Amino acid sequence: MSTLCIHGLGYIGLPTAAMFANYDHDVVGYDTSEEVVTRLSDGEVHFDEPGLRAFVTQAIESEQLTISNEVVEAKYHIICVPTPFDRETKEAGLEYVESAGQAIEPHLRPGDTVILESTVPPGTTADVLRPILEESGLDAGEDFALAHCPETVLPGDIITELKQNARIIGGVNGVSTEAAVRLYESFVEAEIHTTANATTAEFVKLIQNTFRDANIAIANEIAKLAHDYEIDSREAISLANEHPRVNIHHPGPGVGGHCLPVDPWFLGQNSEELDLIKHAREVNDGMSGYIIDILKEELGGLEDTKIAIFGVAYKGNVGDTRESPGLKLARELQAVSPQQEIAMPDGGVEVDTSSSPSITLHDPHVNDQTLQLLSREEAVDGADAIVIATDHDEFEEIDPLFISRFMNNNLVIDSKAILDEDRWNTEGFRVSRI
């Protein structure tokens, strides 16, 4: 078994470090955050993921995994750092990838292998990371191996998917690819596919998520068309999917997570050919505005209303809020009414926000101290509408009769189509589905 240094102990890096350690590799998990290092050293996992704490504890107690705030020499360096998304420029921030490369460079030895797992724009491994590593005086592909192996897991089932999902590996040359394949073969149970180069591997990961995003955009546009014809979009989509060559995804409030709302922009970062894909992004990002239009239509406007948003996680039954459609909807609702300036007797100016809708948030899976999350009863007390923005199992079990006692106006926008519409209608609610 080999020695590894995993750079970045977040959603991907920590499970990856524990996975290699539990398959008998000697692993050092490195992170620049003192808080992360301290918490992990104390046996705490800093984000929610089923089974992860026990998995990490097993790796640490076996002494195969060590948590450190220092980079060490290792046969394999695996980079699992974030690539922040700039909403204004629609571009990836590669500063963490660059920093990881700079941290590895002084420790790089002939025969070592560096693998980038972070999701990045095509060309990053060869054009950004390689020159940084070669400051060591070693040549990629000759003196050390350099490859890209993108992760393709979903929060909520990361440990299983790390083992069972197929992997795609592309190196700067054949020797680099083979070196990475040998490492991942130690635990990956699915097929490992190789590509001609690292850029192809980067490209494949991005088009996987771009396809899903574009498919959801088609579903969302179908949902809006179906609304105009007063038909159930989901029934129509389900019947259309009976054709063996049709597979339309489900409509909803938009898409979230670090991948689907971001990867299409990464794909086009170094190209001028983003067209249909760009429009699909705009359709999905526009679903929060579409929900606001429904609320306005159903409530006769939003002035002096209270809207309860159920679900600020980006997907059902997880606590991950990255690029959350529910939070995006909350931000846009708060900005929906123009604020009026009132001249005060002392000559000052005060902003009147009394006509803006009041927004409450409820999510049983999210534990984020920066969000003002309320209990179910507190969130709906005096509310005019509930918006179901995430398909948590708990929301399917809500008793409409109980909830109706707290509400001012019985409107529900079920953007995930998880409620029993007949039951809710029977209890006096107006249910609008997407």
* Within-domain flag for 332: yes
Confidence class for position 342, pLDDT limits 50, 70, 90: very low
Using CA atoms, how far apart are residues 341 and 109, in angstroms rounded to an integer?
64
Asked if 47 and 187 sit in the same domain, the reply is yes
User: Among the options 80, 149, 259, 416, which is catalytic?
Assistant: 259
* Within-domain flag for 222: no
* Within-domain flag for 270: no
CA dihedral 215, 221, 222, 227 (to 10 degrees): 150
Tens digits of per-residue pLDDT, 89-118?
A: 999 999 999 999 999 999 999 999 999 999
Would you state the pLDDT for residue 350? 54
User: Among the options 5, 205, 315, 328, which is catalytic?
Assistant: 205
Q: What Å distances lie between residue 374 and 47, 145, 348, 366, 381, CA to CA?
A: 20, 51, 35, 11, 10
Would you state the pLDDT for residue 227? 94
Tens digits of per-residue pLDDT, 380-390?
A: 999 999 999 99
Judge whether 86 and 263 are in contact, CB under 8 Å: no
Share of the chain above pLDDT 90, in %: 91
* Within-domain flag for 381: yes
Q: Where a domain ends, among 171, 198, 225? A: 198
Give the mean model confidence (pLDDT) for residues 205-212: 97
Judge whether 389 and 416 are in contact, CB under 8 Å: yes
Tens digits of per-residue pLDDT, 136-190?
A: 999 999 999 999 999 999 888 999 999 999 999 999 999 999 999 999 999 999 9
Asked if 64 and 161 sit in the same domain, the reply is yes
Q: Where a domain ends, among 158, 173, 198? A: 198
Which residues does residue 28 pair with via DSSP β-bridges, in sequence order? Answer: 5, 66
Cα atoms found within 13 Å of the Cα of residue 406, Cβ hemisphere only = 17
Cβ atoms < 10 Å from Cβ of 363: 27
Instruction: Give yes or no for residue 201 having a pLDDT over 70.
Output: yes
In degrees, to the nearest 5, what angle opens at C-alpha 61 toward C-alphas 55 and 63?
110
Q: Which phi and psi (to 5°) does residue 411 adopt?
A: -115, 135
What is the overall mean pLDDT for the chain? Answer: 94
Is 296 an annotated catalytic residue? no
Q: Which of 358, 357, 353, 400 is nearest to 379 (CA)?
A: 358
Confidence class for position 87, pLDDT limits 50, 70, 90: confident
Tell me whether residue 362 is exposed, middle or buried, using C-beta atoms within 10 angstroms of its C-beta: 0 to 12, 13 to 18, 19 or more.
Answer: buried
Asked if 163 and 35 sit in the same domain, the reply is yes
Would you state the pLDDT for residue 345? 53
Tens digits of per-residue pLDDT, 38-61?
A: 999 988 999 989 999 999 999 999
Going 379 to 381 to 385 to 391, the CA torsion angle's sign is: positive
Instruction: Give yes or no for residue 338 having a pLDDT over 60.
Output: no
When divided into structural domains, the chain yields a total of 2
Cβ atoms < 10 Å from Cβ of 429: 23
Asked if 15 and 156 sit in the same domain, the reply is yes
* Within-domain flag for 206: no
Tens digits of per-residue pLDDT, 288-336?
A: 999 999 999 999 999 999 999 999 999 999 999 999 999 999 999 998 7
* Within-domain flag for 75: yes
Using CA atoms, how far apart are residues 148 and 168, in angstroms rounded to an integer?
8
Asked if 47 and 181 sit in the same domain, the reply is yes
Using CA atoms, how far apart are residues 147 and 166, in angstroms rounded to an integer?
16
Instruction: Give yes or no for residue 341 having a pLDDT over 90.
Output: no
* Within-domain flag for 340: yes
Would you state the pLDDT for residue 139? 98
The two structure tokens encoding residue 388: 């179901």
Q: Where a domain ends, among 198, 233, 251? A: 198
Asked if 156 and 53 sit in the same domain, the reply is yes
The domain in which residue 323 lies consists of: 286-433
Is 149 an annotated catalytic residue? no
Would you state the pLDDT for residue 354? 52
- Note the pTM of the prediction, 2 decimals: 0.90
For residue 62, the domain's CATH number is: 3.40.50.720
Asked if 189 and 324 sit in the same domain, the reply is no
User: Which of 271-280, 306-315, 338-347 has the weakest average pLDDT?
Assistant: 338-347
* Within-domain flag for 219: no
Asked if 179 and 317 sit in the same domain, the reply is no
Asked if 309 and 407 sit in the same domain, the reply is yes
Confidence class for position 19, pLDDT limits 50, 70, 90: very high
Give the mean model confidence (pLDDT) for residues 261-266: 96
